[in-house]
Structure 1
């Protein structure tokens, strides 16, 4: 089942259950997917593009969550946490820190990196492997640890 089909089914279910928050988030994600399809001039998006859009939605909410937290807006923080939980339902299973650490070690040995100066080379090799499955900041932190 494609992501769009899943979103449509979940949207119908949210309507039946009168879950306004979930319905609103699903509509936003669906709109982002449709806008991207229009921008690319295609009817069907690839899984990779869908994953990129979902990752963007998660990142936007995490950034907003951080900003609203600093501003003391707990009402908006709670709303964003709910939205984030809903969007993350559609993301692939996230890698644990141990699994990610293994991928980092493998990639460092594949690339042959020895120092932090080669961090860019390692990051460009590793990010396509873990796209949507790991947070970029965590990947960055682990790469730095393994290169030092």
Structure 2
């Protein structure tokens, strides 16, 4: 089942169960996917690729994580809680997230391949790391790990 079909089914299920947060979240995902699909049509592409769908979902998840952080800093736990619920729903559509150990092993491998030794080599590592780990873990976590490994 394609992501688009899955989202359509989930909207119906959320409407039947009267799950307001799930319904709003899934509708927002559908809206952004449709907007992205319309934006690629002038290039002759009829539908989104799986990678483009993942980009939209990763972007939504990142926005929610940033919002949660900002709401918690502003002592607005009610809003942070709602964003966390939305994030959990978005993450259901993302691939299984990798553990810190798996991410660390991949970063070590990339550092060895790139021959990176200092913080100045961070660019050599971040590009390939994000390409390999996109959608599988949080980019901020990757950046922190790379920075820690190159500074030690």
Give the TM-score taking structure 2 as reference length. Answer: 0.92
2:109 to 90, 106, 110: 106
Structure 1, unaligned runs of 5 or more:
none
Match of 2:31 in 1: 31
Coordinate RMSD, CA, aligned: 1.2
SS of alignment partner, residue 91 of structure 1: coil
Match of 1:129 in 2: 132
Match of 2:22 in 1: 22
Structure 2, unaligned runs of 5 or more:
none
| Aligned length in residues | 148
Report matched runs for 1:52-131 at 5 Å.
52-131=55-134
Give the TM-score taking structure 1 as reference length. Answer: 0.94
Separation of aligned partners in 1, 2:18 and 2:46 = 30
Match of 1:144 in 2: 147
Deviates more, 1:7-16 or 1:22-31: 7-16
Separation of aligned partners in 1, 2:68 and 2:78 = 11
